[in-house]
Amino acid sequence: MKPFTYAIPCLFGLEGLVGDEVRRLGLEDVQVENGRVLCQGAQSDLPRLNLNLRCGERVLLRLAEFPARSFEALFQGASAVPWEDFVPRDGQFPVKGHALDSQLHSVPDCQKIIKKAAAERLGRVYGLNRLPETGAKYQIQFAIMKDQCTLYLDTTGPGLHKRGYRAVGVEAPLRETLAAAMVILSRYRGKDPFRDPFCGSGTIAIEAALIARNRAPGLDRSFDAQKWRWLDGQCWLDAADEAMDKEFDGAYDIWGGDIDPKAVRIARENAVKAGVEDIVRFDEADVKKFHCQGEYGQIVTNPPYGERLLEKEEAEALYRTFGEVYHRVPPKWRVLVITSHPEFERFFGCRAERKRKLYNGMIKCDLYQFAR
Ligand SMILES: C[S@@+](CC[C@H](N)C(=O)[O-])C[C@H]1O[C@@H](n2cnc3c(N)ncnc32)[C@H](O)[C@@H]1O
């Protein structure tokens, strides 16, 4: 059987990590590009990617790629896709996408044309003037870049960062995919103590717990493609079995603290939803009193950014306090801090060993890595 081409969009800065994840899952021809990873795999890899990826945003199945300098070319290219192989008689097939650096730049017009092409073809094949679109969703996505159109089906549905454990959040939560990436970059393997002194809704600590357990992050949620008729239902069960067989059972030392009792309560509730409440502890704690013991360990954290002026001053004072606390941290601990404040190092009082540009949704941030 011809292999499928999958595209996995991700937050800028995480492409390399997603590429590693995809390789570890055994997919082939992995290409790491700006903002996405491409790879080749079998049909059975579709559930495996969705269930296991920690840092990717979604899994798209590539259907076609063709030059599209005019609406006519777009219509012809979209009409040539064998939609009937994917979308059944009653399937919903909404269209969304984007266009960049191309002659076709009106997204609503491109959307309409692709929809018309798919609808005409499906109507012809199924002998229907009007398609009911009452069944499962087959989200069509298009990307027109430099006059080249690529058509995909979105297999995921709500983004992969929606693990299902964070139904409620506090202000400024970190994306789960970014939190997981930070934990991976800290090289946390579950052995050493792990600390987040600004835990908020607990995302970083919960992702650390999932990583320590080697628990697939998608096991507690559903995906659009689970309802697709042409996809063998057994491959979802096999992928879940495979993922569960790889889980570890052990004792871990993962802790999150926050000054806000409401945040601590939410973090605890989220840990229960994620099924990791037995290995993560959350406490109400001021960073002023933060301390850690043991030769090795990881601190991975996301202090307040201070987007508004007054908050900015408060955030800066907090960074100073955190910097003073850092001097009490044993020298071999690795410390990773993400913030959008451009002068974090100055207030923290220490130069980072390494700095990476990352995006928390639309907010441009730096991830600072400290080591002594
Ligand atoms: C950007 S939020 C963290 C969000 C978190 N990563 C999440 O995903 O929900 C920063 C957190 O720092 C907490 N905080 C502010 N001052 C603090 C202090 N002095 N000690 C501990 N936590 C503090 C806030 O209550 C807030 O929850």
pLDDT digits (tens, 9 = 90+) for 324-341: 999 999 999 999 999 999
Confidence of residue 310 (pLDDT cuts 50, 70, 90): low
- Do 188 and 97 have their domain in common? no
Note the pLDDT of residue 360.
Answer: 85
Is the residue at 248 inside a domain? no
Instruction: Tell me the residue range of the domain where 337 lies.
Output: 176-214+253-370
- Do 292 and 208 have their domain in common? yes
Is the residue at 362 inside a domain? yes
Q: What CATH number is associated with residue 92?
A: 3.30.2130.30
Q: 17 C-alpha to center of ligand 1: Å?
A: 26
Parallel, antiparallel, or unpaired: how do β-strands 363-370 and 354-360 relate?
Answer: antiparallel
Whether the pLDDT of residue 169 is over 60: the answer is no
The count of other CB atoms within 10 Å of the CB of residue 32 is: 17
Distance CA 336, CA 55 (A): 17
Q: How many domains does the chain have?
A: 2
Note the pLDDT of residue 170.
Answer: 59
- Do 297 and 356 have their domain in common? yes
Is the residue at 168 inside a domain? no
Confidence of residue 306 (pLDDT cuts 50, 70, 90): confident
- Do 182 and 271 have their domain in common? yes
- Ligand 1 atom closest to Cα of 286? 20
Confidence of residue 308 (pLDDT cuts 50, 70, 90): low
Q: What percent of the chain has pLDDT over 70?
A: 97
User: What's the pLDDT tens digit per position in 179-236?
Assistant: 999 999 999 999 999 999 999 999 999 999 999 999 999 999 999 999 999 999 999 9
Whether the pLDDT of residue 301 is over 60: the answer is yes
Please tell me if the CB atom of residue 81 comes closer than 6 angstroms to any atom of ligand 1: no
Whether the pLDDT of residue 92 is over 60: the answer is yes
Whether the pLDDT of residue 244 is over 90: the answer is yes
By CB atoms closer than 10 A (0-12, 13-18, 19+), residue 69 is middle
- Do 109 and 197 have their domain in common? no
Residue of 115 and 305 predicted with greater confidence: 115
Whether the pLDDT of residue 83 is over 90: the answer is yes
- Do 146 and 191 have their domain in common? no
Whether the pLDDT of residue 321 is over 90: the answer is yes
Q: What CATH number is associated with residue 333?
A: 3.40.50.150
Supply the DSSP symbol for 42.
-
Q: What percent of the chain has pLDDT over 90?
A: 92
Question: Is 269 within 8 Å of 170 (Cβ atoms)?
Answer: no
Note the pLDDT of residue 307.
Answer: 74
- Do 146 and 188 have their domain in common? no
Please tell me if the CB atom of residue 301 comes closer than 6 angstroms to any atom of ligand 1: no
- Do 47 and 97 have their domain in common? yes
Mean pLDDT estimate for the chain: 95
Is the residue at 355 inside a domain? yes
Please tell me if the CB atom of residue 270 comes closer than 6 angstroms to any atom of ligand 1: no
By CB atoms closer than 10 A (0-12, 13-18, 19+), residue 107 is middle
When pLDDT is averaged across residues 13-27 and rounded to a whole number, the result is: 97
Whether the pLDDT of residue 171 is over 80: the answer is no
Confidence of residue 366 (pLDDT cuts 50, 70, 90): very high
Q: 275 C-alpha to center of ligand 1: Å?
A: 22
Distance CA 18, CA 52 (A): 11
- Do 258 and 341 have their domain in common? yes
In one letter, which amino acid is 245?
A: D
Distance CA 119, CA 149 (A): 18
Q: 258 C-alpha to center of ligand 1: Å?
A: 6
Note the pLDDT of residue 305.
Answer: 87
When pLDDT is averaged across residues 349-372 and rounded to a whole number, the result is: 92
Q: 331 C-alpha to center of ligand 1: Å?
A: 24
Is the residue at 165 inside a domain? no
User: What's the pLDDT tens digit per position in 53-74?
Assistant: 999 999 999 999 999 999 999 9
Place of tokens 């491109």: 110
Distance CA 321, CA 318 (A): 5
- Ligand 1 atom closest to Cα of 314? 16
Distance CA 58, CA 206 (A): 20
Is the residue at 243 inside a domain? no
Please tell me if the CB atom of residue 315 comes closer than 6 angstroms to any atom of ligand 1: no
- Do 186 and 124 have their domain in common? no
Q: State the Cα angle at 21 between 19 and 22, rounded to 5°.
A: 65
User: What's the pLDDT tens digit per position in 29-57?
Assistant: 999 999 999 999 999 999 999 999 999 99
Is the residue at 241 inside a domain? no
Is the residue at 223 inside a domain? no
- Do 88 and 202 have their domain in common? no
- Do 76 and 194 have their domain in common? no
Note the pLDDT of residue 168.
Answer: 62
For atom 17 of ligand 1, which residue has the closest CA?
A: 259
